[in-house]
Amino acid sequence: MSGGGANTDLAASFRRLIERHGPMPVSRYMGESNARYYTSRDPLGAGGDFTTAPEISQMFGEMVGLWLADLWSRSGHPQAIYAELGPGRGTLARDALRAMASQGLRPPVHLVEGSAALREVQADALAGAQFHESIDTLPDDRPLYIVANEFLDALPIRQLVMTTRGWRERLVALDGDRFVFAAGPNPMDDAVLEERRAQDVGTVIETCPGAAAVIEDLARRIDRQGGAALFIDYGYLESRTGETLQAVKAHGKVGVFDAPGEMDLTALVDFAELAQIARQEGLAVETATQGAWLDAMGLGLRAKALSERSPAHAEEIARACNRLAGTGEMGELFKVMAITPGQAPRGAGFG
């Protein structure tokens, strides 16, 4: 696990690169920072930097598992696999697989994970899981039931900024020894949709080529192989302007230049853009807030059953329920997107 030295090394490396070659794109800064960050540690839990929904309550993973099992059942019980992108500690997969097994679905488990530290934790939690560096090596001979929770938000974004000379790529530059944002020299108007070009100076537009590529690839595979994909992340359902890049360390927000390689850099996911990409590939797409989806999936009923079984934990269960599904909490900030083949059954919970 890296310490403060790794932070200094990466920051110093960035400074040398900028001094030698000029400012770097935001996408490179974010990509290399997160690559260092995720490959060197387990970032989850009280001793880490952030907590995800599966770590808050088993109910979250159970709802995901029941969603998959219901689709599997209505699709004729195919020989499918469970695949998860960026599975954290394996908590979501463990809870989802238990819920699936209660409905008769016991699929082989495939995990897409680049971090050696997290792979060790996942292997302990999920005996027999097979690991992949990327989605490219997932099996291509049967339906894929794919889950990605807080995966897309960490993929590198590209930022474009409106200047007095038109649209430019936003870069990371140096002011003395400090990292600062700067506008690039090359016109980028053609990279902005015509209907979005007329904006005030200083307006930032974000795109995420990596997320677009993941959705396009998985949509094509699901169209060909069958199955479904469920993406859960914080983001928005209608495209908009504005910068959303943020950094988290030790469960608190910090500056995006404070400690490259030692903090989690994320950006809100544009689900409207990703939904359009999946639809262009011929898939059915449904979206909802996390709270609405969990409520529709029966979160309240599950919480009631758990509370009745363990009255001493009823208050704790109610708090977890509110955190996962409440407005002003993850229920409002996080969104859910499901993609399924055009002629296949639709997933539950989307109204």
Tens of pLDDT, residue by residue, the chain (351 residues): 333 344 458 999 999 999 999 999 999 999 999 998 887 666 665 555 557 899 999 999 999 999 999 999 999 999 999 999 999 999 999 999 999 999 999 999 999 998 888 899 999 999 999 999 999 999 999 999 999 999 999 999 999 999 999 999 999 999 999 999 999 999 999 999 899 999 999 999 999 999 999 999 999 999 999 999 999 999 999 999 999 999 998 878 999 999 999 999 999 999 999 999 999 999 999 999 999 999 999 999 999 999 999 999 999 999 999 999 999 889 999 999 999 999 999 999 997
- The pLDDT, as a whole number, for residue 250 is 82
Please name the helix (run of DSSP H) or strand (run of DSSP E) that holds residue 320, with its range, or none: helix 314-325
Backbone angles phi, psi at 202, to 5 degrees: 100, -10
pLDDT at 3: 36
Single-letter amino acid, residue 57: S
> Do 48 and 37 form a contact (C-beta atoms < 8 A)?
no
Looking up tokens 């296949």 gives 344
- Collapsed DSSP state (helix, strand, coil) of residue 50: strand
Q: What is the 3-state secondary structure (H, E, C) of 157-215?
A: CEEEEEECCEEEEEEEEEECCEEEEEEEEEECHHHCCHHHCCCCCCCEEEECHHHHHHH
What's the rounded Cα separation, in Å, for the pair 211 and 157? 9
Q: What is the pLDDT of residue 38?
A: 82
pLDDT of residue 40: 67
pLDDT, residue 5, reads 41
The whole-model pTM stands at: 0.92
Which residues are CB-contacts of 343 (< 8 A; sequence separation ≥ 6)?
none
Q: What is the pLDDT of residue 251?
A: 73
- C-alpha 293/C-alpha 298 separation (Å) is 9
Of 270, 281, 273, 261, residue with least CA distance to 14: 261
Quick one: DSSP state of residue 44? B
| pLDDT given for residue 50 in this prediction | 58
pLDDT at residue 330, as a whole number: 94
What is the pLDDT at residue 181?
A: 98
